[in-house]
Structure 1
Amino acid sequence: MSVSIDIAGLRPERVAVVPSPLTELGMALHALSEPGHHPGLQGWVTGVTARLDSHLADRMCEADFLWRTTFSDLFMPFAGIPGRSTLPGATLTEDMDLLDKLSDEQFADAALEFTCAPDYDLPSNSVLADLSLRRRALDLAASRGPRQVRFTKRLLADPPRVRAWLRQFLQDCDEAFFSDVWARVRHSLAADARHKTELLRHKGLGEALASVSSAVALEGDGTRITVDKLAQGRTTTADGGLLLIPTSLGWPHLQVLHRYGWQPVLHYPVSSPELASPPSVEQLTLRMTALSHPLRMRICRHLARSAFTTGELATAHGVTAPEISRHLSVLKKAGLITTRRRGRYVLHQLDVTVVARLGSDFLEGILR
């Protein structure tokens, strides 16, 4: 599975790497709501939560589905401006001014995108105009609790009122904690953006994307970007541009805005503890599948303790050597075992470091 961006005809000058204060505020809200996703931010989350005004904390829960279970496109309003070439604002106020430029239809559709619906990257009617979509939005909200139902009803009935509520809420978050965060991270984000921009100018888009994440690749003919994710989607730059938005708070999330009609955005973490070559989704699937067989699990138990030949494993498990060979082939293809030759014997051993990383690799893969 992957998300692809068709960039055929994209001119180099239409690719921009720019930090966004509003996007980073959205990621801060996500980290506060889901601290388990961000173990490196536990200290910051604890400190902010302890100081947070109770009234603001209650309001933070009022619409937390915008940043908790999904990361709403409302935090990247520049992507929805007609012309598909608008850059993020230099300040939070400028970014929120861009949010104000979205139509009520765009605002409502982005706010009520609770799940990755099949028509996210396809043209569709607005939830404000289509009665069947309104019913769907209310049904989805009902399955997620009364707070979401109340917010959805308010938004469908009076979009300007909810827009004003959200802007005031974001301003209050800035005063309460985000201005300090932005002052701390904006310089490193700007430095990363300059570095990626230099790579774009001197080495091309492929090198710049490789520096974003090993999960992002420019396909062979240079007309498509593929992002390795446990999600399926597609979009195109068409006559617009492509934005790369760095985040300091975002690891392990690597996000792709591929909403139909919006400018594509790659939202990537900087200074992450990402491994030099994290496994692809396909590799991760191979490893999990390889370990799901009970005999292969028992083989791994032996190979974790010492190196064994195929014949030794066959004797230990009471099966034929060809059957052991087939299981070893599956484990080797998944990258879970190593082999070495000793004279005329081939010894197999479990790669304990790879297995030890499976938990974190799996978590990163599903959160990516």
Structure 2
Amino acid sequence: MPVLLDLRGAKSSDVEIGTSPISELQACLHSLAEPDHHLEYRSWLVKTDESLSPDLRHRLTRFAPLWARRRCRLLLPLSGPLDASVDTEIERIALLSERDFVEAAAYAIQGGDFDPRQAISQQGEFIAACEARSFSRGELAGLLMADPGEFRATLVRTLADCVEEFFAGEWERIHDRLRDEADQTRLRLRGLPLAELVSSVSPAAQPVQGGRAVRFDKLQNLTVSLHGNGVFLVPTIHGRPHLIIRGEAGFPVVVHYPVAWQSQPASIDEMQQRLTILSDPARLALCRHLVNEAITTSDLARRMNMTRPQVSRHLAKLRVAGVLTSEKSGRYVYHRVDVDKLMRIGVELLRAIVR
């Protein structure tokens, strides 16, 4: 179930690359609401959550359906240019027409596949559909329909309080990294055909249909046309490993992509290969020996009642899985399981699943 960007009628000049603090703030709010998706930021999440004032924490819990599952389009760049300040981007939310605001908020709150225009024309049905998903979604939907102006004012105030309480300092810390990523992406992609330009920001993307479209490996079945529309490529740090593609009518298309890892994240196929290797009973038994001490091939063969060639074949597989280290000392080569790499497989599996 891919996301397909239809490039017909679009050109490379339609693409803008830059930073968006409101997008990064939403990524922070998502990770605070869904910490199990972001294990690598656990210390930052715990520290930030503990620093929140009780009133702001209460409001973030109330508004969490806006960013917990489906990111709200309001908290992605609504218009250009990119690289605006967070205050400017919050002001754009405040100035958006009420209809556009309500439809964008309703689409995120409901969290399923539906026409957000129905939220205004069929308020009762919309609230009931949200209540069917969760109590918090139903409550938030009721607040939105009862008084959109107050809902927006409270949301804008909440975002401003987030900036004051934790995000201003975090944005100052990471802004240069994101700006450098955007600058490097511009230089790297200059002159590339549109399909290669768009797909190059993520290993989950590839040009298809002879360059007339880009396919993203996502758990969605969605086609977004770029014809007559701008495209924003926005890097994120706190959003990783998630790759977000949004293409609602009336707004620029946004590809919110994680900055490059030190190494590219493993694909689902690569993770399946690693797990298959590690699930073999003989290799699991070898790992039990190798996790505690460095051992030679001959010693492993004696302990496991195997031949040396058998042990060597299993060790080669563990090396392919990326969990084995081997070091020569004198005449002997000693093997050991790299515990840190073994533990990271769980995190990499999560990244591959939620990307």
Q: Per the shorter chain, which TM-score range?
A: 0.7 to 0.9
Change (3 A) 1:134 1:260: farther
Alpha-carbon deviation of 1:246? 0.8
Matched, 1:100 2:94: yes
| Per-residue Cα deviation, 1:312-332 (whole angstroms, up to 9, x for no partner) | xxxx9xxxxxxxxxxxxxxx9
The one of 104, 113, 118 equivalent to 1:118 is 113
Change (3 A) 1:49 1:134: closer
Matched, 1:280 2:267: yes
Cα distance in 1 for residues equivalent to 2:90 and 2:283: 54
Cα distance in 2 for residues equivalent to 1:128 and 1:115: 13
8 Å CA contact retained: 1:77, 1:99: no
Task: Please give the TM-score of this superposition, normalised by the length of structure 2.
Answer: 0.75
Matched, 1:149 2:149: no
| Per-residue Cα deviation, 1:168-195 (whole angstroms, up to 9, x for no partner) | 1111111111111111222221121111
Task: Please give the TM-score of this superposition, normalised by the length of structure 1.
Answer: 0.73
| Per-residue Cα deviation, 1:289-324 (whole angstroms, up to 9, x for no partner) | x689xxx844655797999xxxxxxxx9xxxxxxxx
Task: Report the residue type matching 2:119 in the other structure.
Answer: V
Change (3 A) 1:213 1:185: same
**Identity, % of aligned positions:** 27
**Structure-to-structure mapping, 1:46-85, within 5 angstroms:** 46-78=46-78
Deviates more, 1:50-59 or 1:163-172: 50-59
Alpha-carbon deviation of 1:257? 1.2
Flag structure 1 segments of 5+ consecutive residues without an equivalent: 80-85, 308-315, 317-331, 338-350
8 Å CA contact retained: 1:196, 1:208: no
The one of 159, 162, 186 equivalent to 2:151 is 162
Cα distance in 1 for residues equivalent to 2:48 and 2:343: 33
Matched, 1:135 2:128: yes
Change (3 A) 1:239 1:209: closer
Change (3 A) 1:300 1:18: same
Task: Report the residue type matching 1:181 in the other structure.
Answer: E
Alpha-carbon deviation of 1:286? 7.0
Which position in structure 2 is the counterpart of 1:257?
Answer: 246
Which position in structure 1 is the counterpart of 2:234?
Answer: 245
Task: Report the residue type matching 1:45 in the other structure.
Answer: L
Deviates more, 1:180-189 or 1:98-107: 98-107
Alpha-carbon deviation of 1:24? 0.9
Change (3 A) 1:183 1:136: same
Task: Report the residue type matching 1:125 in the other structure.
Answer: R
Which position in structure 2 is the counterpart of 1:340?
Answer: none
8 Å CA contact retained: 1:2, 1:230: yes
Which position in structure 1 is the counterpart of 2:175?
Answer: 186
Deviates more, 1:39-48 or 1:25-34: 39-48
Change (3 A) 1:9 1:199: farther
| Per-residue Cα deviation, 1:245-291 (whole angstroms, up to 9, x for no partner) | 11121221111113355432110111x5x464544345556776x68
